[in-house]
Amino acid sequence: MPSNEHHEWLMNRDWPAVEDAMTHPESDVDLLVRKYKERDEHGRLPHHWMAAKAQTHTHILAFVGVDSIELNYEALTTRDNKGETPIDIARRSGACAEIMGLLSLTPEEAHSYSLDGMEMYRLYAPVSYWNNEMVGWISSRSWADCHKFIDEHDNELVREVLKYDNSTLLLHVAQHSQEYSDSLAFLALRMIHRYPLSLSAEDSEYIETALQWGQLPQFDACNEIQQIVSLDPTHITSTPFPTLLLHSLPAKYNEIYETYNTVCQFLRLTVSPHDNAELGEQSKVDHPDGEHLAMRILYDLNHNMSLGYAIGGQILTFLKPDPS
């Protein structure tokens, strides 16, 4: 039996071609199901070839792996002409750990994940999963959900999600930002701070950046967003996020850094080179924990500058927010 194009793409590790075929708006799901049940002259399904060629992990490969299982759960235990299942081939050929874990599922386990919607994608293709979630939130202008994702996940995952699919998330923001809000602008700043190159990324079909998308009449992004997506990636890389935030959203900056700046101002105004002995005596007075800590810092700053700065620096580091 001759192979189909999915066999060929997977044999050649052309994961993007497979992904495009799977996700194209006009793709025929029934046809895809049939293709992922077709065997080639070696008795192999497309899954067998994926297992044989998956030594190096990529996020697109992870998505293709999950999607291929969704199209044919029984492939997990299907044997080729040599009697090998996809997991047998994956082990023999040294497939990456992510694909090994996916192919180790039983058909029943894989099917149970599908009953929970996108659970298998969340577990085995998390970057693709969260990118898809972000697209949905941006399209519905649910900026709070986007911020929640960034707040609750580690920087590496967030960065990979922003990079996925040629950094098109920023393009989606430009397309759905006709009405300004501080939350929208803050989200755009957080996104470009974490991955500045998204500012120069172009979509694959029309070769346009986020700024160019935002300037199109059918999208007409608000002026504030157009200004943000017109920033230079080099400038973003060399500018601390608090400075970027202060310049673009001063009210948000003050909201976030209010406590930290208040403590800094307190220390600057209170520390004095005079009355060291008196301050030392005051530090022994029975104060509430917060006051005692402040007195202790002040005492050390006056009597032992290096120790005082070390303690004060630790406290300020603890207090200093990281909104990026």
Distance, in Å, from the CA atom of 21 to the CA atom of 41, rounded to the nearest integer, reads 23
- Asked whether the beta carbons of 245 and 263 are under 8 A apart, the reply is no
AA identity, residue 140 = S
Other CB atoms closer than 10 Å to residue 84's CB: what's the count? Answer: 20
153-192 pLDDT, tens digit per residue, is: 999 999 999 999 989 999 999 999 999 999 999 999 999 9
- Asked whether the beta carbons of 65 and 125 are under 8 A apart, the reply is yes
User: Among 129, 209, 150, which residue's Cα sits nearest to residue 174?
Assistant: 209
User: Rg (Cα) of the chain, in Å, rounded?
Assistant: 27
User: Among 149, 165, 159, 216, which residue's Cα sits nearest to residue 191?
Assistant: 159
Triad 173, 64, 31: Cα angle to 5°: 100
74-121 pLDDT, tens digit per residue, is: 999 999 999 999 999 999 999 999 999 999 999 999 999 988 779 999
- Asked whether the beta carbons of 68 and 50 are under 8 A apart, the reply is yes
Distance, in Å, from the CA atom of 237 to the CA atom of 16, rounded to the nearest integer, reads 29
Q: How many residues does the chain have?
A: 324
Q: What is the pLDDT of residue 228?
A: 95
Using CB atoms within 10 Å of the CB of residue 172, give its burial: 0 to 12 exposed, 13 to 18 middle, 19+ buried: middle
Give CA separation, 305 vs 63, 141, 182, 272, 299, in Å. 56, 50, 41, 12, 9
Q: What is the pLDDT of residue 283?
A: 41
Tell me the pLDDT of the chain (324 aa) as tens digits.
557 999 999 999 999 999 999 999 899 999 999 999 999 999 999 999 999 999 999 999 999 999 999 999 999 999 999 999 999 999 999 999 999 999 999 999 999 998 877 999 999 999 999 999 999 999 999 999 999 999 999 999 999 999 999 899 999 999 999 999 999 999 999 999 999 999 998 876 777 899 998 999 999 999 999 999 999 999 999 999 989 999 999 998 888 877 667 766 665 665 544 444 444 444 444 444 444 555 555 555 444 444 444 555 555 565 567 777
Q: What is the pLDDT of residue 286?
A: 43
Distance, in Å, from the CA atom of 276 to the CA atom of 271, rounded to the nearest integer, reads 10
Distance, in Å, from the CA atom of 100 to the CA atom of 95, rounded to the nearest integer, reads 6
The DSSP result for 3-56, as a single string, is: --HHHHHHHTT-HHHHHHHHH-TT--HHHHHHHTT---TTS--HHHHHHHH--S
**Domains (ranges, CATH) in the chain?**
5-124 (1.25.40.20), 127-239 (no CATH), 252-319 (no CATH)
